[in-house]
Amino acid sequence: MVVGDIAGDMDLDWQVCSRARLSRDARFDGKFFIGVLTSRVYCRSICPAPTAKEKNVRYYPSAAAAAEAGFRPCLRCRPECSPGTPAWLGTPNTVSRALRLIAESGLADGGVEVLAEHLGVGSRHLRRLFLQHLGATPSAVARTRRLDFAKKLIDETSLPMSEVALAAGFGCVRRFNAAIREVYRRTPRQIRRLSRQSGVPLENEYVFRLRFRPPYNWNGMLRFLAPRATPGVEEVDSSSYRRSISLNGTHGWLEVSLDEGKDGLAVRVQFGDPRSLFLIIERVRAMFDLNADWAAIAQSLTADPVLAARMAANPGLRVPGCWNGFELAVRAILGQQITVKGATTVAGRLAKTLGRPFAGPGGLTHLFPSTEVLADANLAGLGLTQARSETVRAFARAVLDGRIGFDGVGDSGDFMARMCEIPGIGKWTAQYVAMRALGEPDAFPSGDLGLLRALDLKTPGELERRADAWRPWRAYATMYLWTAAGEQPVLHAGCAVPGPGTDFNLGMRLSAGGRAGKSV
Ligand SMILES: [Zn+2]
């Protein structure tokens, strides 16, 4: 049986694809696409349309590959709504990093050459890797992403088509119209009429539905985010996460909740500049780890008996990302050597004293302070030590003058080394920030005392050896072990003794920078 016209040396297993297709298995949604030879459309594994005969289908590792092979996206299962391409086993880091960069920039400035330069590889090599693992070139992947996002905006918003064209990176309406017609054989307006939108949306307000591959532990995500939510900037209630946002001088807010029964999240965005919607949605995807391939992660981590028990009890845990790397890192610095609760209080004071006032819904009163403001802010009176205040300022200055950046990080080792050059930032904080801000599935705080305790190990060396078997998913193992450690409060030298009311829920105390870098 043929696995796609061009899929000969790719990681697709025909039998797995076939079983997933016939059972419409949502765990495989977005891991491969099905080209149907008779209709010339391509589908997700969950397509509700009657299943085609095996001899009439081809399997592709990405939507772009199916599109390149001449298939059009199915209007029923809407491939543009599938969860993103997972960073799966066997894919070189270069490919996952390139995908992340394409998600951030849409390959807008400079194309493949610039992308390759950023990653430190030749552009021909990058093309070859993409063809091998995704079945399509970087430009084809970027093109498909732009089209996918345009289709989402047509279907899910009432944004004027001229704005859709700009927001999806088409530059001009004529090119946008031509591209949509070529792919969908319909005009953008015809597609919008088919989408059956209900209700009249408010101005500058959009609702997006973003899919994941089940299981997804939404409550686990909220339980992690809730105690760390910066008062005034973020709010977490029993069912949703809300925050103020700021991009390129425009301010707004977003709210994320579970799209019940749909294997996805519903994201409500209030933002004045539609050109930023692509970036906002990509950041939400990263923040809630929607591209994760839980089936692959589980298969690999359950070989460790401690992890297996935790995963069976609590399936679908994700690695929480962040809205903004700078904000997360500042929050991690504030949390060094104090409890999560204490750090949250200090972060709230910081936001209310130095952040810009903002009128949002449900408790959102401020934007997080900008890099410029924190670079020479007077932090006296916020409850920080002198040394910690200086670390926050030094870090902000390093971000401001470009020594540390969060966009398009090609090498997380280099990123962590730069972080550690700042006095007061140690290995633990750098690893924690890399894990949450760079979306590195293999990032691992090997010096974390909570992890040692959870596994009853004595030294980081022992922990690193044990963790070798968890590659490339060590960040997920970390989440499970932190959850496990939470059942017993863990104290150690260099960590302030928690006072009354300390929040030991899920042991997340450990992850808020509970120890300064130098103590690990
Ligand atoms: Zn379909």
Q: What is the pLDDT of residues 167-182, one digit of tens each?
A: 888 888 999 999 999 9
Among residues 29, 259, 263, 448, the one annotated as catalytic is: 448
- With cut-offs at 50, 70 and 90, classify the pLDDT of residue 439: confident
In angstroms, the CA 308 to CA 312 distance is: 6
- In the reported structure, the alpha carbon of residue 502 is separated from the centroid of ligand 1 by a whole-number distance in angstroms of 50
* CA-CA-CA-CA torsion sign (401, 404, 409, 410): positive
CA of 17 to the centre of ligand 1 (A): 15
- Across the range 507-518, mean pLDDT stands at 32
Calculate how far, in angstroms, residue 191's C-alpha sits from the geometric centre of ligand 1: 16
> Which range in 3-12, 291-300, 351-360, 401-410 is most confidently predicted, on average pLDDT?
351-360
Q: Which of 43, 47, 322, 495 is catalytic?
A: 43
Q: 26 CA distance to ligand 1 centroid (A)?
A: 13
Question: What pTM, to 2 d.p., does this model score?
Answer: 0.85
The confidence score (pLDDT) of residue 386 equals 93
Q: Given pLDDT bands bounded at 50, 70 and 90, which one contains residue 106?
A: low
448 in catalytic set: yes
What's the 103 CA to ligand 1 centre distance in angstroms? 24
pLDDT for the residue 234: 98
Q: How far does the centroid of ligand 1 lie from the alpha carbon of residue 35, in Å?
A: 9
pLDDT at position 169:
86
d(CA 169, CA 497): 52
Partnered with residue 259 across adjacent β-strands are: 264
57 token code pair: 């289908």
Q: Which residue has the tokens 């928690």?
A: 498
Query: Which pairs with CB-CB distance under 8 Å and at least 24 residues apart come from 408-414?
Result: 408/100, 408/101, 408/104, 408/105, 408/118, 409/97, 409/438, 410/97, 410/118, 410/119, 410/120, 411/120, 412/438, 412/440, 412/443
47 is catalytic: no
Dihedrals phi, psi of 356, to nearest 5 degrees:
-80, 130
- Phi, psi (rounded to 5 degrees) for 103: -65, -40
> In the predicted model, what is the mean pLDDT of residues 239-256?
97
The fraction of the chain above a pLDDT of 70, given in percent, is 87
- Using the mean position of ligand 1's atoms as its centre, give its distance from the Cα of residue 31 in Å: 15
pLDDT at 330: 97
How many angstroms separate the alpha carbon of residue 14 from the centre of ligand 1?
19
- How confident is the model over 367-377, as a mean pLDDT? 96
